[in-house]
């Protein structure tokens, strides 16, 4: 197959879809279908179109090879927001592992908007991704239908198989909430304030809040609605939410943030009010963000295997893209990291080592901070 040099190529010499169609002796619609929906084109015809594309230089040769192999060697990643450094760590590990495996990454965010998520995933699918990493399991049924229809392998991260019938790589978020509450209870706290993201938009917040409720309930500690505020993740919004907690007349001796950003915003608001941390109020977060160990005082938190999640998701999706049976890994457990923002409840004196013995730290692969 060769091009007739006397045949003009399109406006100003640019190769067009029609040029490819003429060389491959097919319709332009068939060329378009081979590019956008290769699964609907017979292999022999798809190979002929790929050869025409390569000869004319209509697209880079790598894309032409992708037409023939039905793989683009690119994976997509969708995160709720770019403002949470926990997701940044997961995405960075995901991309670095893909690079090791010879794959590229397309990244987008949703800002917790399900309609936006479907639109942006559709765009990624149209770009020809070989697989997709999602965060959480709480997604619109239309999104799952789209991925099933287009036969795109995917994995829900920051979730577990118990949460959803779909493949998942993550940890038990409910257990994370229990760990935080149990630790504070062991320090003598009984009056709590909870600063959370909207649990109707985040299954991670939903599971952590349920874990907190479960642990407090087992200890006979009631958690009333006025003790919980929901806020966005901007620091100013978190401070306003924490202020609202105090405006309701609450006087918690311990504040639990649904993640480190929520805990840090609460810390800043308490310090602005002249409260001593942890003497007047203890504060704990979730996620072990990079800044958590460097605040004054350093933030108590729970370390999650965020980087390991990203690496494992990359390996799982690449295995599926290459026709191998992807295996879901077992990840490291959550690790409670007590630091300077937590201490005994006011008026409670604990014996040396009592908090450590009552905390019930789970077995982990690594306890290095």
Confidence (pTM): 0.75
Same-domain check for residues 350 and 226: yes
Question: Residue 236: is its pLDDT beyond 70?
Answer: yes
Same-domain check for residues 139 and 182: no
What is the predicted pLDDT for the residue at 368? 34
pLDDT in tens, 174-211: 999 999 999 999 999 999 999 999 999 899 999 999 99
41, 48 contact by CB (below 8 A)? no
Same-domain check for residues 276 and 156: no
Task: Determine how many CB atoms are found less than 10 A away from the CB of residue 91.
Answer: 25
What is the predicted pLDDT for the residue at 362? 36
pLDDT in tens, 260-305: 999 999 999 999 999 999 999 999 999 999 899 999 999 999 999 9
Asked if residue 5 is part of any domain, the answer here is no
Q: How far apart are CA 49 and CA 145, in angstroms?
A: 29
- Here the CATH number for the domain that contains residue 227 is 3.40.50.2300
Residue scoring higher pLDDT (168 or 67): 168
Min mean pLDDT across 48-62, 154-168, 222-236 is at 48-62
What is the predicted pLDDT for the residue at 66? 54
Least Cα distance to 199 among 152, 231, 153, 162 occurs for: 231
Task: Determine the distance from the C-alpha atom of residue 257 to the mean position of all C-alpha atoms in its chain, rounded to a whole number.
Answer: 18
Residue scoring higher pLDDT (357 or 174): 174
pLDDT in tens, 316-356: 999 999 888 778 887 778 999 999 999 999 987 665 555 44
Question: Residue 1: is its pLDDT beyond 60?
Answer: no
Distances (CA, A) of 142 to 151, 184, 258: 14, 41, 28
Residue by residue, DSSP assigns 97-109 as: HHHHTT-EEEEEE
What 3-state DSSP class applies to 43? helix
Same-domain check for residues 181 and 285: yes
Q: Name 139's Cβ contacts closer than 8 Å, sequence gap at least 6.
A: 114, 117, 156
121, 143 contact by CB (below 8 A)? yes
Asked if residue 48 is part of any domain, the answer here is yes
Domain that holds residue 348: 173-300+338-359
What 3-state DSSP class applies to 303? strand
């Amino acid at each position: 197959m060769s091009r007739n040099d006397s045949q003009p190529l399109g406006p100003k010499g640019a190769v067009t879809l029609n040029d490819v169609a003429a060389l491959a002796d097919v319709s332009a619609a068939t060329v378009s279908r081979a590019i956008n929906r290769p699964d609907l084109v017979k292999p022999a015809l798809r190979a002929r179109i790929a050869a025409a594309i390569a000869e004319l230089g209509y697209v880079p040769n790598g894309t032409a090879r992708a037409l023939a192999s039905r793989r683009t060697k690119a994976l997509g990643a969708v995160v709720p927001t770019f403002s949470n450094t926990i997701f940044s760590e997961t995405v960075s590990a995901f991309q670095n592992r893909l690079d090791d495996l010879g794959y590229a990454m397309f990244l987008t965010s949703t800002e917790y908007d399900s309609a936006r998520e479907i639109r942006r995933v559709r765009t990624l699918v149209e770009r020809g991704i070989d697989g997709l990493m999602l965060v959480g399991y709480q997604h619109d049924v239309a999104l799952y239908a789209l991925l099933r229809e287009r036969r795109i392998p995917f994995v829900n991260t920051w979730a577990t198989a118990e949460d959803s019938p779909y493949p998942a790589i993550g940890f038990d978020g409910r257990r994370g909430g229990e760990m935080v509450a149990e630790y504070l209870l062991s320090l003598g706290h009984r009056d709590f304030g909870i600063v959370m993201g909207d649990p109707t938009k985040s299954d991670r917040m939903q599971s952590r809040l349920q874990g907190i409720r479960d642990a407090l309930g087992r200890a006979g500690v009631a958690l009333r609605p006025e003790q919980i505020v929901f806020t966005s993740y901007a620091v100013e919004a978190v401070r306003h939410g924490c202020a609202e907690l105090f405006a309701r007349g609450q006087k918690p001796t311990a504040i639990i943030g649904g993640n480190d950003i929520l805990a840090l915003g609460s810390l800043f608001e308490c310090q602005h009010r002249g409260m001593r941390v942890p003497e007047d109020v203890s504060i704990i977060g979730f996620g072990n963000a990079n800044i958590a160990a460097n605040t004054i005082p350093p933030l108590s938190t729970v370390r999650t295997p965020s980087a390991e999640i990203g690496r494992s998701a990359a390996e799982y999706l690449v295995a599926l893209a290459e026709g191998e049976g992807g295996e879901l890994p077992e990840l490291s457990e959550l690790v409670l990291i007590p630091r300077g923002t937590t201490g005994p409840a006011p008026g409670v004196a604990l014996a040396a080592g009592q908090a450590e013995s009552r905390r019930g730290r789970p077995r982990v692969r690594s306890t290095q901070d």
